Structure 1
Amino acid sequence: MQYDVVVVGGGPSGATAAEDLARSGHKVAFIDRDGRIKPCGGAVPPRLIEDFFIPDAQIVAKVNTARMISPTGRQVDIPIENGYVGMVDREHFDEFLRKRAKDAGAHRYTGTFTKIERDAEGTHVMYRDKVSGNEMKLTTKLVIGADGARSNVARAEIKDGDKIPYVIAYHEIIEAPAATATYDPARCDVIYDGRISPDFYGWVFPHGGQASVGMGSLIKSVDVKKATADLRAASGLTDCKTIRKEGAPIPLKPLDCWDNGKDVVLAGDAAGVVAPSSGEGIYYAMVGGRVAATAAAATLASGRVKDLQLARKLFMREHKQVFRVLGAMQNAYYRSDERRERFVSLCHDVDVQKLTFEAYMNKKLVKARPMAHLKIGIKNLAHLTRLVSPLRT
């Protein structure tokens, strides 16, 4: 069988692309490595749940508060009004998405991508079958590379596809205790402390009966396992049973080009679509899969390979400004503990809290309160120029 599209990768991005294409009547296959669980806090906003029809059974916890913790131990609790942040466990969530794609008509193969070959018969995606160990071939018209931050598809097919900056993330899934003085099963803790991460942050995110405890850093010399152990100790979670440990890169910047001008387009982490500052990736990965599927369908219908560019254009049209603002915030506040202290101080402001979570929940910048934006801008400038003390609210 010749496929219209072969998707390399079966995470949220690849599974979404495969499902969308199958539901629109295309012959599509996806290759999944199987058994790989990405380290991830697991937070999903209401817009993801609504846009991608996620059933409540996949939501393992509902968070109503976010706690920001500064290097000096200062805590700012931000209530999540008019809703909640859902938490998923990637071990089960990703498999749910893959099964849904298969049920929609996508053919599922289990193995590891090796290369792309081309001849007079078409484009061939080569992979090593997990069960037999044999090299197998899928013939297709188009390929969607959704194989993660250090994408082999991107490295082989896309200009500068191997130059994407990334954070190394590590977390441990543990058995969560009942509520304690330092742990709340309805609260996400975000720790801005150079002792945990010198250039990113640590987290404690509830997953129902489990919790994700982890951190990330751009600096390769950082001992991520020790930092996570220190974070568990600070959170009173040292004695909790460890269920599994996972590490992986998280990209920090979308690539400038997502397609090779012929037959390949990228999606999700392979394209670099993880939000700066927050490291949020599930929602953007699924959007990336959807726009890649849209671009592939347009190319198949028109015969114009230029239509592969639609993937990046559609994504950036809606999310470029959010990524730009979050990138500027990360560059401004993550560079030192003194700056992190000021950032947490800024989060005391009620307008900051409301605008931040309205933007997070709806995935767009809120423009309805110009005076609030002006007030935040002035406070932000005051902190960055050290006109105010970080200890002031």
Structure 2
Amino acid sequence: MFDVVVVGGGPAGATASLDLVNSGHKVAMLDRESRIKPCGGAIPPRLMADFAITDDQLVAKVNTARMISPTGRHVDIPIENGFVGMVDRKDFDPFLRARAVAAGAHAVTGTFVRIQRDEDGTQVIYREKASGETRSLKTRLIIGADGARSRVGRAEVSGGDTIPYVLAYHEIIKAPPKSAVYDPVRCDVIYDGAISPDFYGWIFPHGDSASVGMGTEVASVDLKQATAALRAAAGLADCETLRREGAPIPLKPLDRWDNGRDVVLAGDAAGVVAPSSGEGIYYAMVGGRVAATACAACLESGRARDLRLARSLFMKEHKMVFRVLGSMQNAYYRSDERRERFVSLCHDIDVQRLTFEAYMNKKLVRARPMAHLKIGLKNLAHLTGLVATTRT
């Protein structure tokens, strides 16, 4: 009998497993393994501090972000007083799982099938990878951390079967030498309707390799063709392709993360990917932590309603950031004309500083009210077309 079975061993599931075993609970972590999620791999310093991630897990440290407009104009934003860490999910996720197992989590390799409740209690039914046989894990609670199309969420949580998402696709390529178009310490973000009509494309350095990809909610877009166009435009078409990966990325946190009984969701399964930026690793790990906290409270009290703590704790700290980023995406991702103005707005030094302070610390910066007022007025001017787009 386990206290908690965690379905999924990505950043959310591995974090939940680690926190639960560290608090004295018996945990099984069920994961398919061998699956690598497409991901730019950016993590902020706050993640490294909050979740004890050391520099040896990084494949690069980025000190500049380049925002590129539909017409090819760009603005380089220096990352002051810090850096953006880059990880490769093929190595980072196994590291997180191994850390949880070393702490005491029971690793199970297989595919989730269903949750079964009968006179013997609650069981997670799964198909074992090695044998292909159907087996079960008896448990008191379940954390669904099995991705944007969560099978746990679809079966158990209201709204889990209708979560909106974009499809993301990237290619890991052999990194070219540093040049005028590629810098191993710079992230490029491409806002161009020809690449993605409603999201963006990216080129993120990973040391000896780089992630080149894009995302969109528009079903008619050919993701591989769009990525090929992005590589060609960036002079990366001839670089060796090492891996190709695709997966859905959720667009909005679910209104409810638990089933009021014995299941709570975490990470992509709960929809916690930041609007506008698509950032997910930090929020997945926070989601895993609050899910573990909620399960620990429920196990202690015996009250199923304590599972609601997961969502309430997350939203208490991050709701406003998600709201602001969602508003920005709705305002600027609607057309190339709007994207052009967004990149123009990024020339502003106040925008640059406050944006990266918020990114690094994962909270809205309230220390400079006049800067916020200036940004609000500039934002309005750009949206209404009262100012011309800035030229580089």
Partner residue, 1:367: 366
Deviation at 1:392, TM superposition (A): 6.1
Supply the distance in 2 between the matched residues of 1:392 and 1:295 (Cα, whole angstroms): 50
Instruction: State whether residues 73 and 391 of structure 2, in contact with CA within 8 Å, keep that contact through their aligned partners in structure 1.
Output: no
Cα distance in 1 for partners of 2:171, 2:233 equals: 15
SS in 2 for 1:54: coil
Which structure 1 segments of 5+ residues have no match? none
Return the offset for 1:387.
1.2
Aligned partner of residue 109 in structure 1, secondary structure: strand
Structure 1 pair 86–286 and aligned structure 2 pair: CA distance change class (3 A): same
Q: SS state of the match for residue 6, structure 1?
A: strand
| Shift, 1:121, TM fit | 2.1
Q: Offset at 1:120?
A: 2.0
* Corresponding position: 1:319 with 2:339: no
Aligned match of 1:279:
278
Q: How does 1:1-393 map to 2 (within 5 A)?
A: 2-391=1-390
Query: What is the deviation of 1:177?
Result: 1.1
Shift of 1:332: 0.2
Deviations 1:61-85 (A, max 9, x none): 0000000000011110000000100
Q: Deviations over 1:129-148 (max 9, x none)?
A: 00100011000000000000
Matched residue type, 1:296: C
- Write out per-residue CA displacement over residues 145-175 of structure 1, whole angstroms, 9 at most, x where no aligned residue: 0000000000000011111110100000011
Q: Distance in 1 between matches of 2:391 and 2:232?
A: 28
Deviation string, structure 1 residues 238-280 (Cα, Å, up to 9, x no partner) = 1111000000000010000000000000000000000000000
Calculate the TM-score normalised by the size of structure 2.
0.99
Distance (whole Å) between structure 2 residues aligned to residue 24 and residue 67 of structure 1? 42
TM-score (norm. length: structure 1): 0.99
SS of match in other structure, 1:115: strand
Structure 1 CA distance, aligned partners of 2:272 and 2:138? 28
SS of residue paired to 1:195:
coil
Give the secondary-structure state (helix, strand or coil) at the position aligned to 2:116.
strand
CA distance in 1, matches of 2:274, 2:386: 29
- Residue 310 of structure 1 aligns to a residue whose secondary structure is helix
Shift of 1:25: 0.7
How far apart are the structure 1 equivalents of 2:10 and 2:39?
Answer: 12
Structure 1 range deviating more: 159-168 or 89-98: 159-168
Query: Over aligned residues, Cα RMSD in angstroms?
Result: 0.7
d(CA) in 2 for partners of 1:375, 1:329? 16
Alignment partner of 1:239: what SS?
A: coil
Q: Which amino acid aligns with 2:350?
A: D
Instruction: State the AA in 1 paired with 2:365.
Output: V
Offset at residue 42 of structure 1 (A) = 0.1
Q: Distance in 1 between matches of 2:78 and 2:382?
A: 23
Show CA shifts across 1:160-201 (max 9, x none). 111111010000001101101110000000000011001000
Q: 2:347·2:390 contact (CA, 8 Å) conserved in 1? A: no
Q: Which amino acid aligns with 1:38?
A: K
- State the secondary structure of the residue aligned to 2:202: strand
Quote the Cα distance in structure 1 between the aligned partners of 2:197 and 2:269.
25
CA distance in 2, matches of 1:77, 1:248: 29
Task: Return the letter of the residue paired with 2:204.
Answer: F
Unaligned runs of 5+ in 2: none
CA distance in 1, matches of 2:192, 2:222: 15
Render the CA deviation track for 1:44-99: whole Å, top value 9, x for unaligned. 00000111001211100000000000001111000000010000000000000000
Partner amino acid for 1:165?
A: P
Report the CA distance between 1:386 and its aligned residue.
1.3
Aligned partners of 2:103, 2:27: CA distance in 1, in Å?
A: 10
State the number of aligned residues. 392
Indicate the SS of the match to 2:256: coil
